[in-house]
């Protein structure tokens, strides 16, 4: 748990930091977005948004970076791309889709539910509130009695880690969840 020392005070040093991050992380973001069907311009937009989000978080007092800043920035980029991709695919017409083939590739709800239950009742409720009910983190913090948004975020992360650990322990793959 090292305090993030990457945030600098002078404009020149900040510019050098951004250039270094562009050189080290942007090529991986372009590769990922391209692999996922995106364009170079979309990768630029995603990376710039990720860089701003990373910098805003890193500039906060008390922010602790638990991983390499390059990996963290790539993760933000990946999540932004997935969010954008999900929004774009929600409006795809159903004409021409093989419905029977799609039904065969659905995830088994009961298997997923079993793994979520390994995290415990409170975790299931918290994850449901965030992902299914789409409640904002400040509402979740208030509902579950956390001291603030940061505490709610940390608890959500811990709940997800419990589920990931169970999946790892059992060496499961995506195919294990198919119906």
Q: Is the pLDDT of residue 34 over 70?
A: yes
Average pLDDT over residues 2-8: 50
- In whole angstroms, give the CA distance from residue 160 to residue 40: 32
> Residue 27's closest CA among 37, 14, 40, 13?
40
First to last CA, the chain: 40
28 or 133, greater pLDDT: 28
pLDDT of residue 87: 67
Q: Is the pLDDT of residue 98 over 50?
A: no
Domain 106-177 coded CATH 1.10.10: yes
Q: Model pTM? A: 0.45
CA dihedral 91, 92, 98, 103 (to 10 degrees): -30
């Amino acid at each position: 748990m090292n305090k993030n020392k990457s945030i600098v005070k002078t404009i020149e040093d900040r510019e050098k930091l951004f250039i270094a991050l562009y050189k080290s992380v942007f090529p991986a973001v372009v590769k990922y977005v391209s692999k996922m069907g995106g364009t170079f311009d979309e990768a630029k937009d995603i990376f710039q948004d990720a860089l701003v989000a990373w910098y805003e978080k890193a500039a906060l007092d008390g922010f602790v970076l638990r991983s390499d800043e390059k990996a963290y920035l790539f993760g933000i980029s990946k999540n932004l791309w997935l969010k954008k991709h999900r929004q774009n695919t929600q409006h795809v017409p159903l004409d021409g889709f093989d419905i029977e083939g799609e039904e065969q590739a659905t995830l088994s709800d009961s298997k997923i539910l079993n793994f979520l239950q390994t995290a415990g009742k409170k975790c299931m409720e918290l994850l449901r509130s965030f992902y299914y009910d789409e409640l904002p983190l400040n509402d979740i913090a208030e509902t579950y009695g956390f001291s603030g948004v940061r505490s709610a975020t940390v608890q959500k992360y811990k709940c997800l880690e419990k589920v990931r650990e169970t999946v790892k322990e059992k060496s499961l793959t995506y195919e294990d969840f198919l119906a």
